[in-house]
Amino acid sequence: MDHSGLTRDQLLDVYYHLRLTRTLEERIGILYRQGRIFGGVYLSTGQEAVSVGAAYALGPGDIIVPSHRDMGAHLLRGIQSREILAQYLGRVGGLSRGRDGNVHYGDIQRGDVAFISSMADGIPVATGVALALKRQGKGRVAMTWFGEGASSRGDFHEGINLAAVLRVPVVFVCNNNQYAYSTPLSRQTRIPDIAARAGGYGIPGTIVDGNDVLAVYDTAREAVERARRGEGPSLIECKTMRMRGHSEHDDASYVPRQLLEEWRAKDPIQGFEARLREWGILDEAGEARIAKRIADELEAAVAWAEASPFPEGKDVEQGVYST
Ligand SMILES: Cc1ncc(C[n+]2csc(CCOP(=O)(O)OP(=O)(O)O)c2C)c(N)n1
Ligand SMILES: [Mg+2]
């Protein structure tokens, strides 16, 4: 059986990151419903394999430009769950040091470019990052994530076209979760596959089962290797489903229940767990150990975040202007 060339420890690490992503986001959802979070909360529940699988294909020197549903990518880049919780709680310990109450965070030191809220604007930014990396000539690559809705915006087309023409080392990962807020795919584009858009720019476009973490990893690894070889960008379309509302204030009542049930049966974490068990890599005790490790980590993380103070008014300009 092919395990994507990953060792047993790496496979368990992938599993840990999938579960950490889900559990951390569930915790954030609870904090939101308790009224303790200031901004909106956009979860990746049911599509965690897109950010985890793709980010797992990166090396330490690579740079990510995630979007609002890519918690797994932040975690794999070394952002700590406690920093993310402090971010959502608006505390000084958060990545924007209390200046933002949700998703606009990253850390350039760790190769994580903060999310830009304007949909698809991460694409030209990732192209610029990749141009800088190409000029450095060290074989580093950039990877960016966005939704299928974002792929109908101008920045997507201009950014990908420029990346293709300049042959810069960037991987474009589209999470096609069927909805852009309340708009289903069929009402925002006539094409069924976002990957087809790659053809318009002369780059490879691949469709992958976005709920199969190893399939996402395999496809991303190929695209990353191609970029490292100097062969330019690729577009990967991960077919998945948004299992929550657009944000936690939205009950997604406009999404057919039947569709959600179909996708619930294809849950990426349960599916991967079943395979790990089949391969003899995970058993009940191992699963319980990982669950406990995550629960303990998040307990400590929430306590750490809550102990972190709110920012002081006098520091509001700190880090805002270039000095
Ligand atoms: C230019 C722009 N238009 C509208 C919005 C409001 N908005 C935020 S997320 C979103 C939907 C995005 O859908 P998609 O790209 O499919 O990503 P998903 O949320 O499904 O992951 C919209 C319309 C925005 N942030 N930026
Ligand atoms: Mg979408």
Q: What separation in Å is there between the alpha carbon of 153 and the centre of ligand 1?
A: 10
Show the low-confidence residues of the chain (pLDDT under 70).
1-2
Q: How remote is the CA of residue 161 from the centroid of ligand 1, in Å?
A: 21
Q: Which ligand is nearest to the CA of 102?
A: 1
Residues belonging to the active site = 242, 246, 254
Q: Out of 116, 125, 181, give the residue to mutate to test ligand 1, the one with the largest number of ligand atoms within 8 Å of its CB.
A: 181
Strand 205-209, strand 234-239: pairing: parallel
Of the candidates 200, 102, 183, the residue with the CA atom closest to the CA atom of residue 148: 183
Residue 322 has what pLDDT?
A: 79
Could you say which DSSP state residue 80 is in? -
The pTM assigned to this predicted structure is 0.98
Model pLDDT, residue 320:
79
Q: What is the pLDDT of residue 250?
A: 97
Angle, nearest 10°, between helix axes 81-88 and 284-307? 50
pLDDT at 2: 63
Looking at the CA of 147, which ligand is closest? 1
**CB atoms closer than 10 angstroms to residue 266:** 16
**Hey, what amino acid is at 283?**
D
Locate the ligand 1 atom nearest the alpha carbon of residue 146 and give its number: 15
Which ligand 1 atom sits nearest the alpha carbon of residue 67? 21
pLDDT for 35: 95
pLDDT of residue 164: 98
Q: Which domains does the chain have, with CATH numbers?
A: 8-306 (3.40.50.970)
Report the atom number in ligand 1 closest to the C-alpha of 176: 16
